Amino acid sequence: MPELRFTKDHEWILIDGDTATVGITNHAQGQLGDVVFVDLPAVGKQVTKGGEAAVVESVKAASEVYAPVTGEVVAINGELSGDPSLVNRAAETEGWFMKLKLADPGELSDLMDKAAYDKFVAEG
C-alpha cells in the first residue's frame, strides 16, 4: 500500500515499493501563489536527499524543490511544462513533479506523516 510522507521543506513523497512520487504540498503552492514555470530534472539524473531536484517559479518568487530522498529520476510530469498552474490546482495529486527510484529506503524514516506535517505547518 502506498505511503505518504512530508518534509520540513514542504515536499510530499508517495512511496510505492521502491518508487516514490514527489511534489510540493498544498501549503507550499499557497505560499508561492500562481505558478508560472516548473524546471524539472532530466530522467536518469541522480538526486541526493536535501539537494535541489527542481525549481518552481511563481508570480512572487522562484523556489527550489528539494529531493526528500536520494534516488534516480525515472519519470517527470510532462504536463507541467504546458500547464504549470496544475501545481496550484492539484499540488498533492496530478501536480506531481517527478518519480524517483529509491536508493536508500532507510531515508524515509526522517520524514513526517500527515498528522506530524499538519502540526508542523500549524506551528509555523
Structural domain harbouring 26: 3-106
Residue 122, pLDDT above cutoff 90: yes
Q: Is residue 119 part of a domain?
A: no
Say what the pTM is. 0.95
**Which strands form 19-24's sheet, in the order they lie side by side?**
3-6, 11-16, 19-24, 98-102, 71-76, 46-47
pLDDT tens-digit map of 29-59:
999 999 999 999 999 999 999 999 999 999 9
Give bridge partners of residue 37 from the DSSP assignment. Answer: 57
Predicted pLDDT of residue 22: 98
**CATH number for 64:** 2.40.50.100
Q: Is residue 123 part of a domain?
A: no
The number of folded domains in the chain is 1
Predicted pLDDT of residue 124: 82
Q: Is residue 24 part of a domain?
A: yes
Which burial class, exposed, middle or buried, applies to 98 when counting CB atoms under 10 A from its CB (0-12, 13-18, 19+)? buried
| φ, ψ dihedrals at 96, nearest 5° | -65, 160
Kindly state the percentage of the chain with pLDDT values over 90. 96
Q: Are 85 and 35 in contact (CB under 8 A)?
A: yes
Predicted pLDDT of residue 2: 84
In whole angstroms, give the CA distance from residue 14 to residue 116: 16
pLDDT tens-digit map of 55-104:
999 999 999 999 999 999 999 999 999 999 999 999 999 999 999 999 99
Cell 536527499, residue located: 49
